Structure 1
Amino acid sequence: MNLQQYHTVTTINGAKLPPSRARISVFDNALLCAEGLFETLLAVEDRVVFLKEHLDRLHKGAKVVGLKVPPDRRTLSAWLTTTAEMHPDRIKKLRLTVTSGESARWTGKQGPPQVIVSASPHCLPEKPLKLLVSDLRVDQRSVFRSIKTVSYAMNTIAQKRAIQRGFDDALLLNHSDKVAETTSANIYWTVRGTVFTTPLATGCLEGTTRKHVFRKARQLGLPIVEKTVSLSMLLKADEIFLSSSLKLVAGVDQIMYGRKRSSFKVGDITRLLSEQFRRFIHV
């Protein structure tokens, strides 16, 4: 399937480009040194879901890595919304990438950052997810765990290995052998009606949807608590579910660790939160 058949729409610095011209310099530091930031967003029709939270995290990351995001927030918001509007599907995923620009080491002059927005079709998960525990470990002490840089090799490799074995995602532990997150989502579990999730100190990303899970759970009268947990304790949970921009809330029905396969039912709490999120964004 080529890009035109796949209906990918791309803008660079606000200008729509055909797939054959959507490119950046081979000397961009995002390519040479993985110096750049990204956000993955969900769009429904012309509405970009949780846009403010994504831009907040992007600018937080920019301060950490010393990257100046070129347009102001209003302009960047407009670029995202416009790209979403250009795509014909009702539900789509957006990828926002901000590169650091051409490297002065290779071109003699530091180039300006490039802002790339791509929109492509997206389907929210309709079935429970299956996770494979990765042998790769999260460095919970790294400052970069709190932002989304384009240096994403560990997550990509762990996810690819999981998919090759027939799973949907990989579950990541940290160097203390505590549960952190999956490669693309925050993880939650329930025990006797209480919802638990891993604290940021475990090395999990502060997901944009994670904040809304806390808010929605409390509105529904569900206790929700941050807790550091071992894999063995996680596997004793009543329910397990994930949250992310592209999954919203999705149940987990299987976790594979080595040769041990643990199964779970998608329970009332998972279904309730999933329904609430889908109703909120009108899908």
Structure 2
Amino acid sequence: MSAHTVYWLDGTPVDDRCASEGIQFAYGLFETMRFDHGALEQPGPHLERMNAGFARLGLGFSLSEEALRLGFEAAKAASGMASGALKVLAMRRGAPVEKADVDVQLYLRPNPYRDEADGGLAKPCSLGISAYSKNSRSVVAGLKWQGYADHIIEKDRAMSRGFNDVLFLNEMDFVAETAVANVFWFSGGKLFTPSLDCGILPGVMRQNVLKAAADAGISVSEGRFPLERLLEAELVFVTNSLMRLKVVDRLEQVVWPRPLANAPALRYFESLRAAVKAGCQGQTVRDWAAPGFDV
């Protein structure tokens, strides 16, 4: 602790980590990963995105698979949890940025979507629309940025109106993302999703869906779409790493009836959901603590 700077908490001097840029200014990144039966899903893509974010911010730090492995195994053992959600929070501490330290914290909690049938139609998602725009030109656009208060505030407001989540348009009134998910829809036998230049997060599950669609020969269009294009959809769904894929049945006052079992859009969705689930479960780290494991 510096001789010229003293940090206090409840009348007691504390370590300077309590006054880091991460705590004072929400300067940090986070990742959220699903784990089932002790297996963490897709740690590689999540680490790649987080480390790319550090580089973009100018931080001279990267989180290794070894560090994540040790932290996850310790947290899992201490919690006794075999399935749930892992949050990795990495916060800047110090200046200049290229010499700053990064404090990493791991949190385990129940997966809020764990009791659902992997995004099945039994419990579809409903969306309100935010009155505020997503800034596609923000310096942190596309980062999984610690400062998610705007997302949480707007999601809370949507939930108070009876919706599960909230949809953001960007400053040009193009469809962007929800507070916690990427957005897709089927129309005319084609899959649509906002492009990254709309200011959205490059979701790990989003990339899984795009790959599964390419493998299945489903035509995909990434672009800038006005809200009207989404409202004309035959089937809408949202994605994140905890719920994987989930159908949307309502956007404000627009309601999408449950698709018929033989509807092409539903068949496409079901094939994508099955392929993504298989791919995710094939990219797990199950026995990290086994002797001789090679990171």
Q: How does 1:10-21 map to 2 (within 5 A)?
A: none
Q: Is the 8 A contact 1:28 1:103 kept in 2?
A: no
Pair 1:263 & 2:256 matched: yes
Measured against aligned partners, the alpha-carbon deviations of 1:165-196 in whole angstroms (never above 9, x if no partner) come to: 22111001000011001111110000122111
| 1:237 maps onto 2:233 in alignment | yes
Structure 1: gaps (5+ residues): 1-22, 105-109
What TM-score does the superposition give when structure 2 sets the normalisation length? 0.78
Q: Tell me, yes or no, if structure 1 residue 97 matches structure 2 residue 93.
A: no
Task: Establish whether residue 158 from structure 1 lines up as the match of residue 157 from structure 2.
Answer: no
* Residue equivalent to 2:274: 275
User: Equivalent residue for 1:143?
Assistant: 139
Structure 2, unaligned runs of 5 or more: 1-14, 118-122, 260-265, 283-295
1:53-80 deviation line (CA, Å, top 9, x unaligned) = 1111111111122334365342234323
Conserved in 2, the CA contact under 8 Å of 1:180 and 1:198?
yes
Do structure 1's residue 28 and structure 2's residue 24 form an aligned pair? no
Q: Residue 137 of structure 1 aligns to a residue in which SS?
A: coil
Which residue in the other structure is 1:132 paired with? 128
Secondary structure of the structure 2 residue equivalent to 1:254:
strand
- Equivalence for 1:196: 192
Superposed CA deviations along residues 81-131 of structure 1, whole A, max 9, x for unmatched, are: 443454434431011001113689xxxxx9842110011111334411000
Cα displacement string for residues 26-74 of structure 1 (whole angstroms, at most 9, x for unaligned residues): 3122121111111111112222211111111111111122334365342
Q: Which of residues 38, 42, 52 in structure 2 aligns to 1:50?
A: 42
| Correspondence 1:76-115 to 2 at 5 A | 76-84=68-76, 86-101=78-93, 112-115=101-104
Q: CA–CA distance in 1 between the matches of 2:63 and 2:178?
A: 32
Q: TM-score normalised to the size of structure 1?
A: 0.81
| Equivalent-residue separation in structure 2 for 1:209 and 1:85 (angstroms) | 27
Identity of paired residues, percent? Answer: 26
- Aligned with residue 248 of structure 2, among 235, 242, 252: 252
CA RMSD in angstroms comes to: 2.5
Change beyond 3 A, Cα 1:179–1:201: same
Aligned to 2:147, the other structure's residue is in SS state coil
1:25 CA drift (Å): 4.3
User: 1:240-279: per-residue Cα shift (whole Å, max 9, x none)?
Assistant: 01111111011111100xxx33324352222332233334
Q: In the alignment, residue 41 of structure 1 is paired with which amino acid?
A: M
- Hey, what does 2:169 align to over in structure 1? 173
Contact 2:54-2:62 at 8 Å conserved across structures: no
